Amino acid sequence: MKVDAKGRIAVPGFCRVNGATQFFVTFGRKRFLKLYDWEEFSKSMEVLDGLDPFDARTEEMKRVMLGGNKLEIDSHGRLTIPKNLRDWAGLSGEIVVTGVSSHMEIWNSDAFAAEFAANIADLGKNMQEIAENRKEPR
pLDDT of residue 27: 95
Closest to 106 (Cα-Cα) out of 19, 40, 28: 28
How many Å apart are CA 123 and CA 103, to the nearest integer?
21
Q: Is position 95 within any domain?
A: yes
Residues of the chain with pLDDT > 70, as a percent, come to: 94
Q: Which value, in Å, is the radius of gyration of the alpha carbons in the chain?
A: 17
Look at residues 61, 106, 113 and name the one whose alpha carbon lies nearest to residue 88.
Answer: 106
User: pLDDT tens for residues 54-83?
Assistant: 999 999 989 888 899 999 999 998 999 999
88-117 pLDDT tens trace: 999 999 999 998 888 999 999 999 999 989
Q: How many domains does the chain have?
A: 1
Is the separation of the CB atoms in 79 and 71 below 8 Å?
yes
Structural domain range at position 59: 2-109
CATH of the domain at 84: 3.40.1550.20
CB atoms within 10 A of CB 66: 12
Helical (H) or strand (E) element with 49: helix 38-49
Do the domain assignments include residue 119?
Answer: no
Residue 26's pLDDT band (cuts 50, 70, 90): very high
